[in-house]
Copies of this chain bind each other. A is one copy, B any other.
Amino acid sequence: MVSLSIRLNASLYLKDPQQSALGWRIVTEGIRLIDRLGFENFTFKKLAEEIGSTEASVYRYFENKHRLLLYLIDWYWTWLEYQFDYFTTNINDPREKLKIYINLLTSEKKSDLYSNGIDGQALNRIMMAEFEKTYLTKQVDKDNQEGVFLPFKSVCKKIAGLIRQINPAFPYPHALVSTLILSANHQLFYAEHLPSLTEIQFNPKKHYQQLNDFIGLILNKVIQP
């Protein structure tokens, strides 16, 4: 059996949550609880009760809930980039690669694709609803210096690199990619909660396909030379 381990920036945690059973429960149950309560209403006290431990024990792993969120987000992007590489092995055509990246970016994240008990759907919902809260803060610059946004940046860079290969004359590959990734995150949220902001219809069986169409359409129209 092969199990892949995802190592994240050590500045994210005080004690590595992958190194003990309690640590990993903090992460996996943290995902479920943030998904259920929303990040604002989530507290370490509630999490501790949930996992039958104490607040103080949770604080031994993460400095605060913002750092825990950063950990989860970094986990997601690191995992996604691994998926990018895995599913494009031996493929060289940048257009084909790009298509696979976009498919991965806009498709449902099945739980069983993830390892070690992480609820992929919950993590994906956290991505949609909470991702931007990780950097839209007054500590962006400090956090950024510690490198906590590298996994996301790396994903952007990878896609932007393909765009540059496909059309070297296009002047805004990174801006385009960051725009479309955010949009992919938001459109399904709109579909569910603010439907007048999108044509995508909320329907868990079909909306991933619609999202994929939309993002693909924009991307193709914009980068065609």
Contact = CB atoms under 8 A, between A and B. Distances in A.
A222 B129 CA distance: 27
Contacts of A218: 176, 179, 218, 222
A178 B130 CA distance: 18
Interface residues of A, number: 46
Contact of A157 (B38, B182, B186, B196): B196
A179 B175 contact: no
> Interface on chain A toward B: helix, strand, loop, or mixed SS?
helix
A214 interface: yes
Contact of A199 (B172, B193, B214): B172
A197 B222 contact: no
Given A156-B196, A172-B199, A194-B149, A137 B40 contact: yes
Contact of A153 (B40, B140, B176, B196): B196
A40 B138 contact: yes
A189 B41 contact: no
